[in-house]
Amino acid sequence: MKKRTTAYFLVLVLIVTSLLGCSRKDNIRTDEQITPDKDTSAQEKGRYLEKKVDLPELKKSESILKILRNKEKKFEVYTYDEAKALYNCYTQKDDMSWSRSEPGWLNQKDLEKVSLTSMCLGQDGNYYAGFTDYSTTKSFLVKSEDNGSRSIKVDLPYLLKPAKKVKKAIYYPSINGIQVLADGSLVLLDMWQSNNLLVFSPDGKQQDKIPADTQKNFTVTGSTVIAANESDSGIFLYDTQSKSTTKTYDYTYNDNGAAYALLDDQTLLVGDSGGIQRRIKDGTVWEKTVDGSLTSMSMPTTYIQELFVGGESPEDYYGVFSDSGSGFKLLHFIFDKNVSAIPSNQLTVYSLKENKTLRQAISLYQGENPDTQINYVAAMGEEEGNVSDYIKALNTELLAGNGADIILLDGLPADSYIEKGVLADISDIIKPLSDSGEILSNIADSYETDGEIYQMPLRFSIPVIYGKKDALTHVSDLKDIVDYMKSSSVPYSGPLTYHQLTRSYLALYREEFLTDKRLSDDKFSAFLKNLKAVAENISAAETMEEINNGNKNKLFWDSTTTFFGINKGKFQAGMTQITNISSSMMLFALLKDTTLDYGSLNSTFLPSGMAGLNKSGKNQNAAKAFLKFLYSKEVQDADLYDGFPVNRASLKKWAEEDDKGISMATSDSDGNYFSAEWPGKADRLRLYETLQSLNKPIKINEELDNMLTEQIIPYLKGDIDLNQAVSAVKTKVSTYLSE
């Protein structure tokens, strides 16, 4: 069987609510507020703790495909051995060890050249598996027979009908999920059937189509289907015999999937990144039994697949999870009556927006330190709000000597905090890590001034320029780009919006006109003239559908128009941001054209997760311990698509990883198509070395950059002249910088 993965190019500060000006519920989960001066000496006892169940030891050529619980309520781990082209089943024994067997129903000759895509143990007691032949895109379903010694194909005419046609290519239904009811009826998730679950009789006739949010898991019990509704705002129970919804529950989903279990007394259990909640049959409220924020359930890399109830009292739970960093894991949640209901040690962490690496680290740290709770508040969530309102509220707390123990400074006026003595010197943490080679010295050294360090990123990405080789050598300043641009009749790059153009070039060249809190009129005028020349050359516009559908503040936006234009010689160069190895795939595929190349933009890097320590924090030692943990290999190994690790061993691990199973493709509105495989060793090594040479952090000040952008765009559009633009910017910026 081939493994295939296809990707498309796709405070607290414990601030009082009134300080924020409103009561809000963000799209992301924030941990509950813990009052810092609460007496914890006589706290309630008892909470659920997480225990990792040891899975069977596997060969290097072996990978886990599915974890099920059998009819005897023992777990079974199904694997595929690439070297032997063999499926294995490991069954859990009473002593928690594992016994291996070779399931005959999967190891049949007619299944050797196809890929397993889904699998389940049906309510009818039989095992089922969906397979796809990628050479034809056709799928089929098999069912175990004779106690699992062999399998037979399930007759499903639906799978033989084309699902989609793209030009000359024909695609057939693809089984991405399967559950089987007690009477043998099949409930399938077809990749091509958006927001519908399909029900088939045991003899293969389609009986029903159930509207549901198919991005979430679904499960069955008896004749009932349990799934998320289309609007993702609740859960419904659907009876396949009466073809009707029998029960609905309001439910606010968290990230990373969901899994369900329905008990004999009709109590519904739901597990997601927020934890495990239960609701009795006629109950009106959800009871949270397992707090996800205190377990690894809240890790961004973790996705819940299955939820089971054990046999202990109080109720215990098992969860099957897939982890993008380490594969599958099986977790057991057990109630411990002797531990404090609320961990005795409390830390607070604040950021404007959710940071995945920080969330990952919190889960890992709390797992290793169950007596510590880290309360994380991402003030803005994922919304595009008024940043200045949040910053003012934060400043009030910090300047009063209060606030969170650790602050992520992304989007915040870090330089101002350093000047005003808000942040503590963390060189005693960072310098030893840098000197020992544990973290990248080129990144750490960028933040050292007079032997002191006040901030250090958790991740970083690299802005690069790519295209014609001579274009790569003309980026030292904005005038250099304009002079090069004028030497060619071909546009410099593909079109951008005025907003994207301004934000990206401000990030690169703001220091040309703004240094030491002073704006130079002459230099700013020159910057504006050059920026307008670029805007006219690339046909910048106020709006572009391709860009408007994304994050408008994303720097160095790489549109498919630019990518295909460079590929066909229509543009000289493009700029893009590389955050991990997979985001470099298309670039390296393009560079197979030896007339093209790439390079860093003046050795700059984009930091993210900029961590600082509040000098007035009440838990300095505990905060420092967690801060150091943030840069450990354990945290940094995970690829969360938010930047490269600053841990050297983690970065090397990423560069050495050879994932030949991943491919990527993109197309444009003209029907052009481009595909890429995982970068070769030489390309990965070159990128690894380039990352270790970067030494100039790009400083982002959201308030200042928004202020500049608002005044610059009218000039680029021709609504105001140069003098008006300079005057407007100088007035606003001078006032801001003097505060």
User: What percentage of the chain exceeds 70 in pLDDT?
Assistant: 92
Whether residues 480 and 396 fall in one domain: no
Which strands sit side by side in the sheet containing 287-291, from one edge to the other? Answer: 259-262, 268-272, 275-279, 287-291
Q: Is 314:370 a contact under the CB 8 Å cutoff?
A: no
- For the cut 80, the answer to whether the pLDDT of residue 73 exceeds it is yes
426 occurs within a structural domain:
yes
Whether residues 516 and 445 fall in one domain: no
40 occurs within a structural domain:
no
Q: Is 697:408 a contact under the CB 8 Å cutoff?
A: no
Whether residues 477 and 556 fall in one domain: yes
Give me the mean pLDDT over the 381-386 stretch: 66
Whether residues 371 and 402 fall in one domain: yes
pLDDT digits (tens, 9 = 90+) for 724-733: 999 999 888 8
501 occurs within a structural domain:
yes
CATH number at residue 439: 3.40.190.10
Q: Whole-model pTM?
A: 0.83
Whether residues 594 and 726 fall in one domain: yes
In what helix (H) or strand (E) does residue 121 lie, and over which residues does it extend? strand 115-121
Residue 394 has a pLDDT of 87
Whether residues 588 and 629 fall in one domain: no
528 occurs within a structural domain:
yes
The whole-angstrom separation of Cα 420 and Cα 414 is 10
Of 649, 671, 703, which residue constitutes the final position of a domain?
649
pLDDT digits (tens, 9 = 90+) for 526-575: 999 999 999 999 999 998 765 545 566 789 988 888 999 999 999 999 99
β-strand partners of 511: none
Give the total residue count for the chain.
Answer: 739
The whole-angstrom separation of Cα 552 and Cα 497 is 9
For residue 307, name the pLDDT band (cuts at 50, 70, 90): very high
Residue 345's nearest CA partner among 623, 569, 106, 147 is 623
Residue 574's nearest CA partner among 597, 595, 553 is 597
697 occurs within a structural domain:
yes
Q: How many domains does the chain have?
A: 2
Whether residues 694 and 559 fall in one domain: yes
Q: Is the backbone of residue 253 left (phi > 0), alpha (psi -120 to 50) or beta?
A: beta
Q: Which residues contact 433 (CB under 8 A, 6 or more apart)?
A: 439, 444, 628, 631
In this predicted structure, which of 42-46, 100-104, 232-236, 593-597 has the lowest mean pLDDT? 42-46
Whether residues 436 and 544 fall in one domain: no
The whole-angstrom separation of Cα 571 and Cα 564 is 9
Using a 10 angstrom Cβ sphere, with 0-12 exposed, 13-18 middle and 19 or more buried, the burial of residue 282 is: exposed
For residue 447, name the pLDDT band (cuts at 50, 70, 90): very high
Of 649, 672, 698, which residue constitutes the final position of a domain?
649
Residue 2 has a pLDDT of 40
User: What percentage of the chain exceeds 90 in pLDDT?
Assistant: 75
Residue 6 has a pLDDT of 34
The whole-angstrom separation of Cα 461 and Cα 133 is 38
pLDDT digits (tens, 9 = 90+) for 150-202: 999 999 999 999 998 877 788 999 999 999 999 999 999 999 988 999 999 99
The whole-angstrom separation of Cα 81 and Cα 61 is 5
Residue 377 has a pLDDT of 86
Q: Which amino acid is at 169?
A: A
Whether residues 587 and 722 fall in one domain: yes
Share the mean pLDDT of the chain: 89
pLDDT digits (tens, 9 = 90+) for 4-54: 333 322 232 232 222 223 333 333 333 433 333 344 445 688 999 999 999
Of 649, 672, 702, which residue constitutes the final position of a domain?
649
The whole-angstrom separation of Cα 254 and Cα 647 is 30
Residue 297's nearest CA partner among 312, 317, 278, 280 is 317
221 occurs within a structural domain:
no
Residue 132's nearest CA partner among 185, 172, 88 is 172
CATH number at residue 478: 3.40.190
pLDDT digits (tens, 9 = 90+) for 664-723: 888 877 778 889 999 999 999 999 999 999 999 999 888 889 899 999 999 999 999 999
| 121 CB neighbour count, 10 Å cutoff | 18
Whether residues 465 and 536 fall in one domain: yes
643 occurs within a structural domain:
yes
The whole-angstrom separation of Cα 15 and Cα 393 is 8
Whether residues 548 and 481 fall in one domain: yes
In what helix (H) or strand (E) does residue 505 lie, and over which residues does it extend? helix 498-509
Residue 57 has a pLDDT of 96
Residue 384 has a pLDDT of 63
Residue 561 has a pLDDT of 87
β-strand partners of 340: 45
188 occurs within a structural domain:
no
Whether residues 639 and 596 fall in one domain: no
Give me the mean pLDDT over the 57-86 stretch: 96
- For the cut 50, the answer to whether the pLDDT of residue 627 exceeds it is yes
Domain range holding 530? 460-608+687-738
